[in-house]
Amino acid sequence: MLSAILTHSAGHGHRSSRHHVPVLLREAIAALNVQPGGRYIDCTLGSGGHALAILEASSPGGQLLGIDANPAAIVEAQSRLAAHRKDIRLVNDNFVHLRDICYKYEFYPVSGILFDLGLSSRQLEAEDAGFSFQREAPLDMRFGLNQQLTAYDIVNAYTESQLTDIIREYGEDPHARQIARQIVAQRPLHTTFDLVKAVLRATGRPSTRIHPATRTFQAIRIAVNSELVNLSSALVQAIDLLGFGGRLAVISYHSLEDRIVKDLFRQESTGCICPPSVLRCMCGHAPRLRLISKKAIRPSPIEVRANPRSRSAKLRAAERILKLSNGPQG
């Protein structure tokens, strides 16, 4: 089945395919070391591409818990995973509540947990989501409609200083101050195109393959959804939920996410984490993870050609080396 999924993805690409093409699919299944009868969690279910491959590889007897903040993703995945309905539980929630979800459904310890942090093509192309600067839509950018804060609130209510900090920190944009100044000057902004115009007033017309609005849209989306804070929290919870030998795999798409994953994996795969100035270990920290590979795994040239949105993806994976007692810790 995995070969069939890969062939379909490579043959049609993400735009004409019925479903969003899962990135690094074969690599993710290998990194998770999916085994028959295992129990797995897909924290970013989307349309269910990775989930389907996990279920096929863990058959017979495999179980999967799928989580997504977008209710539309749950509906789509239910249809795609219909043949495995007895082996799945799909939950419409944010993965920051991972521990609580697993407690509720008594789904622990687990054999593997996957995070695919990229936006799906369905999200980017949704008419009213506001994620893409290439499509005119209301300034929303929420992953889940139960969230209160929207992109409209941020661009129209935050101070110039606050906007500068968001665009500089989350977008890593050297023009953060100029962009923030133009956003304030052009208020009120109602649509994605209004925001694009403000960015272009500050930076000029596109002169490279990366559109000037890319980083601003990324930054505001991260702020709307508290993405980095939620990721840090969820990764710690995920480690606690893994059984002995369980694997944690994370696919990230920009340096801020990857840095969080890389730093946590490094910390949890080493012993003492005391500052260098401390001559004798005082922390008592013991490693809980073993790195599967020292370097991030990247998409092959073939995959990038078939699915250009995969070009920035990085996969990192680690294995739990301390046995979990009876349930999630902490």
Tell me the sheet residues that pair with 317. 249
Q: Given a cut of 50, is residue 323 above it in pLDDT?
A: no
> Which pLDDT score, from 0 to 100, does residue 210 have?
83
Lowest mean pLDDT among 53-62, 103-112, 140-149: 140-149
Q: Given a cut of 80, is residue 2 above it in pLDDT?
A: no
Instruction: Tell me the pLDDT tens digit for each residue of 134-152.
Output: 999 999 999 988 899 999 9
The CA distance from 83 to 171, in Å, is: 41
Among 125, 118, 199, 117, which residue's Cα sits nearest to residue 155?
A: 199
Q: Given a cut of 60, is residue 7 above it in pLDDT?
A: no
> Which pLDDT score, from 0 to 100, does residue 79 have?
96
> Which pLDDT score, from 0 to 100, does residue 10 have?
37
Q: Given a cut of 60, is residue 9 above it in pLDDT?
A: no
CATH value of 125-225 in 3.30.1330.10, 1.10.150.170, 3.10.20.30, 3.30.750.80 = 1.10.150.170
b/e 160-185 (16+ beta carbons within 10 angstroms → b)? eeebbbbbbebbebebbbbbbbbbbe
Provide DSSP, 225-240.
Answer: HTHHHHHHHHHHHHHH
Indicate the CATH number for domain 2-122+227-320. 3.40.50.150
| Domain residue ranges in the chain | 2-122+227-320, 125-225
